[in-house]
Amino acid sequence: QLQLQESGSGLLRPSQTLSLTCAVSGASITSPIYSWTWIRQPPGKGLEWIGFMHPSGATYYNSSLESRTTVSVDRSKNQFSLKLTSVTVADTAVYFCAGVGAAAHFYHWGPGTLVTVSS
Amino acid sequence: NFMLTQPHSVSESPGKTVTISCTRTSGNIDDNYVHWYRQRPGSAPVSLIYEDILRPSGVSDRFSGSIVSSSNSASLTISGLETEDEGDYYCQSYDPTSHHMIFGGGTKLTVL
């Protein structure tokens, strides 16, 4: 059973860089079955897709966040990461990682981690 | 990118049946699979329906998905409503042209 767990900086100042990691267990991060993705949810709002890494290594990002976003994989630690630069208060959200299977189905989600941006 | 439009909220009584719609704004609803998730307060979303009509292992058969081509929409139907079904429901699809994942805005289900 695939399991994911987010970790990283919970409180940031504006202009800092958000860095989160998603530890994967139950599957190899290099599995050809899964893409690895990040989603966020501002307080009281809906889900917003951030970006994903395909098994080929290609990365794709939400157009509204692309210039500030990097998703990468660490094979040695079986985890993947999110970096979001130049954060503002609008980036305050619960951030989820997920494993995406065939047909872009989000099979498994991490529990989420709250990131607050405040001066 | 296309968008997925959901009603903001729906409500129904215990034991009844409710249907939540997810309308695609451009392109055909059956061009790409639609998936459904439920999110309870303070928790991560959980998959309920994938590839339009399939249920993941462990999901009750009270949940069913369908495609309604005439309205260019997907639907999630929940029968025999229980109070535990309350939560936010999201549809999701994928735009292969832009490689973007698309979420609907979510529907809040109240069982009263």
Tens of pLDDT along A28-69? 999 999 999 999 999 999 999 999 999 999 999 999 999 999
pLDDT at res. B48:
98
CB contact set of B84 (below 8 Å; sequence gap of 6+): none
CB of B17 closer than 8 Å to CB of B80: yes
Q: Please, is B47 exposed, middle or buried when counting C-beta atoms within 10 Å of its C-beta (0-12, 13-18, 19+)?
A: buried
**Are B45 and A96 a contacting pair at CB < 8 A?**
yes
What is the least distance, in Å, from the CA of B104 to any CA of chain A? Answer: 8
Residues of chain B found within 8 Å of residue A110, distances taken between Cβ atoms: 44
Nearest Cβ partner for B33 among A49, A62, A103 = A103
> Which chain A residues have a beta carbon less than 8 Å from that of B44?
96, 109-112
Tens digits of residue pLDDT in B61-88: 999 999 999 999 999 999 999 999 999 9
Q: Report the pLDDT value the prediction gives residue A1, as an integer from 0 to 100.
A: 87
Which of B44, B100, B104 faces A112 most closely, judged by CB atoms? B44
